[in-house]
Amino acid sequence: MAERFTKSMARNIYIGGSVFFFLLFLGLTLDTMSELPKRDNRQNLTESVARGKMLWEVNNCIGCHSLQGEGAYFAPELGNVFQRRGAGDQTAFRAFFKAWMQAMPTKAPGRRQMPQFNLNDQQLDDLASFLEYASQINNNNWPPNIEG
């Protein structure tokens, strides 16, 4: 290497690095876009799932819970709650989910309390649909254990 670092050398390093990282970014973006349809479960999106997602957002569930690793860690992970509490059975999960949501807050000593949102049966079904949908997304086996 030359003893002196010139402006043209700096410019070439800058331009070469910029081109390299732009091409890397472009390649990773194309790879992501080709993989998403295989993993994101979009064929199972329904109106009920969309309404459940809206309830999830309006009630700020992610302020306490995490979903597929994203969100707060104050309350349990809900990305796998369908398998964890319903064992993949939609009827069992919805029965559990409705009873759980209607029993809140439990006021059990030494336990964090979930608020009562006073959701009606349709809203509870929609929220359950959203959680079922989220549990069927291919997320590389997250969370690492069944209890989240």
43-148: CATH topology is Cytochrome Bc1 Complex; Chain D, domain 2 (1.10.760)
For residue 70, what is the enclosing H or E element? strand 70-71
Question: With 70 as the cut, is the pLDDT of residue 2 above it?
Answer: no
Neighbours of 131 (CB within 10 A): 25
43-79 pLDDT tens trace: 889 999 999 999 999 999 999 999 988 998 888 899 8
- pTM as predicted: 0.78
In which element (H, E) is residue 67 found? Answer: strand 66-67
**pLDDT (mean) for 96-112:** 88
H/E stretch holding 48 reads: helix 47-58
Q: pLDDT tens digits for 116-148? A: 999 999 999 999 999 999 998 888 877 787 776
- The stretch 83-99 carries a mean pLDDT of 92
- In angstroms, the CA 101 to CA 52 distance is 14
Strand partners of residue 71: 66
Tell me what the pLDDT averaged over the chain comes to: 91
Domain boundaries along the sequence of the chain: 1-39, 43-148
